[in-house]
Chains A and B, each alone.
Chain A
Amino acid sequence: MNLYNNELDVFISVDEILIEKLVKIGDLYFPKEYGGFLVGYYNETFKIVYITDYVLPMKYENTSTSFKREPSGLEELFEELYIKTPSQYYIGEWHTHPNGISKASSLDRIALNKIAEDKSTPIENPIMLIIGYQRENITLSFYVSVNGKLYEYEQRK
């Protein structure tokens, strides 16, 4: 699956099987929200981000309208991902919206912008995937935070 943001002229590339896995994982926690971290790498020109994997949090709190995750305990796992070939690293977040659409809420916007500004992580433009579950309908939205603003991607065939 390829996604594109026209305004920024950047891409996301992600395997549909990976997305299907995340949808299934999120469904297990329905009707509460759930999520975790996205892992991947950038191409040489930093115009494409490849999402290759995900990491689930060891600690989290969730309700039907919120999801809070902690990164603690995952240091070794990220180190191991990094020494893979090609190196893979934290590139963003994913979470679900049970009984809702995949549109980013104001809390989501604030959280992703805070991550972008956080100096403890070197990525300046974190990606966020939201999976919405409405009856039988699953919706997906991908965002990136740039200079305090969220930009949404559209799917490219």
Chain B
Amino acid sequence: MNKSEYLESTVKTYKISKEEDLLNKYKGKNQQVKDDLKTEYGDKLYQPFNSGSYAKHTAINTRFDFDLVAPFKKNAFGANGTLEDTYTKTYDFLYDKYSSIATIRKQRVSIGVIFDTDSDGDQVCIDVVPGRELNQDTYDEDKNLNLYVYKRYGELEEGSDYIKTNIHAQIENIKETPNKDKVRKIIRLFKIWKTTKYDSPIKSFFIELAVIKAFDKQSITGNLWDSLKTVIEYLKDEVVKDSFTLIDPGNSNNDVAKTLNCNEKQWFSNDCNNILRRIEDNEENIKTFFPQNEKFEEDDDTESNTSVFSYGVAGSTYTQTPPKTERFG
């Protein structure tokens, strides 16, 4: 088998554009929440924007990740307003606005708006992340935000109830990476692998930074399988080292590598080793580690009929770039 072609095909079956109807529902709700926040808070709020895997183009279609960042002005809730006020008042607003049609849930740094299941059985969830600029009128310049950490989910040291971050820098980090198309494919492949694991402690942000670091530190060339193999080998060897760090581009004091403890890093390294050895033993095993999304395995082309003609599209995704070089006269 051609492992690279298989992986390319696998990534395609997980493109979020394959789930077009659901994606459109997400986009609609996302816009609705964005508009409602702007209407409610006006110039107390900078332009809300999407972060997370959707904005970074690393999402897979088995789990959508729509994070909506709401960057508030420092004095949005009064001169003496606290960061906690930013969080709780945003929660109150979302609760008042949507609790009749959605469950509103306080999460670690975000507020989950989980819309009721619709008649198609689809459920849309938008995570609203309230943030506050560090000093009055500085956000436009530096894009830095403080996020309130809801204590029940807080994992920071006692006494710490906020995280400083720069979500724009996190998004730009991946956009500015050389080979970003290949980097994104490999991030997606790791996420696909993660779906085969039960309750993996590895966070998507860890995967993202780890893959970018591998590309930064290694010479990664060749087809998709060659590249993935080099990344897996790098992580197998490096992730267990004390010196291995993954610095959050939005906050240099945040080492994302520390989101895994020593045992978890060792397990991850063992998993990487296992993937390589098993595929070396039998290349068909690649299908076990990186299974295709059965729902979107390559279909036959749709029929075309000029007697009752309509524009034809094979499958349900249109994101591909135009076909190869073509000459016109």
Chain A: which residue is nearest B50 at the CB level? A83
Q: Which residues of A contact B317 (CB under 8 A)?
A: 122
Q: Using Cβ atoms and an 8 Å threshold, which residues of chain B touch A95? A: 328
In the complex, chain A residues whose CB is within 8 Å of the CB of B54: 83
Q: Is A15 an interface residue (CB 8 A)?
A: no
- Cβ-neighbour of B180 out of A9, A76, A120 (below 8 A): A76
Scoring B31, B306, B327 by chain A CB atoms within 10 A of each residue's CB, the highest score goes to B327
Would A90 and B314 count as touching, CB distance under 8 A? no
Q: What residues of chain A lie closer than 8 Å to B318, measured between beta carbons?
A: 41, 82, 87, 89-90, 122-123
A90-B321, A122-B317, A123-B312 as given contacts; A114 in contact with B326, CB under 8 Å: yes
Which residues of A72-121 have CB atoms within 8 Å of chain B's CB atoms?
74-76, 78-79, 82-83, 85, 87, 89-90, 93, 95, 105-108, 111, 114-115, 118-121
Residues in A with CB closer than 8 Å to B17 are: 82, 87
With both beta carbons as reference points, the residue of chain A lying nearest to B309 in the complex is identified as: A8
CA distance A45 to B24 in the complex (A): 17
- B contacts with A: majority SS: loop
Q: What number of A-B contacts does a CB cutoff of 8 Å give? A: 131
Residue on A nearest B175 in the bound complex, by CB:
A76
Is B265 in contact with chain A by the CB < 8 A criterion?
Answer: no
- Contact yes or no, B326 A68, CB < 8 A: yes
Which among B315, B320, B321, B324 has the greatest number of chain A C-beta atoms within 10 A? B321
Contact A78 B328 (CB under 8 A): no
The answer to whether A106 touches B27 (Cβ under 8 A) is no
Whether, in the assembled complex, B302 has its beta carbon less than 8 Å from a beta carbon of chain A, the answer is yes
Q: Is the CB of A65 within 8 A of B329?
A: yes
Question: Assuming the A-B contacts A87-B318, A122-B318, are A106 and B329 also in contact, with contact meaning beta carbons closer than 8 angstroms in the complex?
Answer: yes
Cβ–Cβ contact A71 & B319, under 8 A: no
**A contact residues around B28 at 8 Å (CB):** 85
**Cβ-defined contact, A68 with B325, below 8 A:** yes
Partner of A47, one of B24, B310, B315, B319: B310
A75 pairs with B326, CB closer than 8 A:
no
Evaluate contact between A107 and B329: CB separation under 8 angstroms: yes
Nearest CB of chain B from residue A61's CB, rounded to whole Å: 8
Contact of A67 among B312, B320, B324, B327 (CB under 8 A): B327
Query: Quick one: which of A41, A71, A105 has the most chain B CB within 10 A?
Result: A71
When distances are taken between beta carbons in the complex, the residues of chain A under 8 Å from B261 are none
Which parts of B159-196 form the interface with A (CB within 8 Å)?
180-181
Query: A9-B309, A46-B312, A146-B306 given as contacts; is B27 within 8 A of A85 (CB)?
Result: yes
| A106 vs B23: C-alpha distance when bound (angstroms) | 40
B66 nearest CB across to chain A (Å): 11
Interface residue total, chain B, C-beta cutoff 8 A: 35
Binary B-proximity of A119-153 (CB < 8 A = 1, otherwise 0): 11111110000000000000000001011000000
Chain B residues with CB below 8 A from A76, complex form? 57, 180-181
Q: Does B103 make an interface contact (CB < 8 A)?
A: no
Contact across chains for B320 and A93 when beta carbons are under 8 A apart: no
A104 to chain B, nearest CB (A): 9
B304 interface residue, CB < 8 Å from A? yes
- The answer to whether residues A124 and B314 also contact, given A82-B319, A146-B309, A147-B304 and a CB cut-off of 8 A, is yes
In angstroms, Cα B57 to Cα A120, docked, is 20
Is the CB of B120 closer than 8 A to any CB of chain A?
no
CB-nearest residue of chain B to A84: B27
Bound-state Cα–Cα, A119 to B302, Å: 12
B311 CB-CB contact with A under 8 Å: yes
Q: How far is the CA of A76 from the CA of B20 in the complex (A)?
A: 19
Q: Are B313 and A124 in contact (CB under 8 A)?
A: yes
Is B40 in contact with chain A by the CB < 8 A criterion?
Answer: no
Closest 7 CB pairs of A and B: A107-B329, A124-B312, A89-B318, A105-B329, A46-B310, A118-B323, A68-B327
Jot down 6 A-B pairs with beta carbons below 8 A, ordered by A: A47-B310, A89-B320, A119-B314, A123-B318, A124-B311, A146-B306
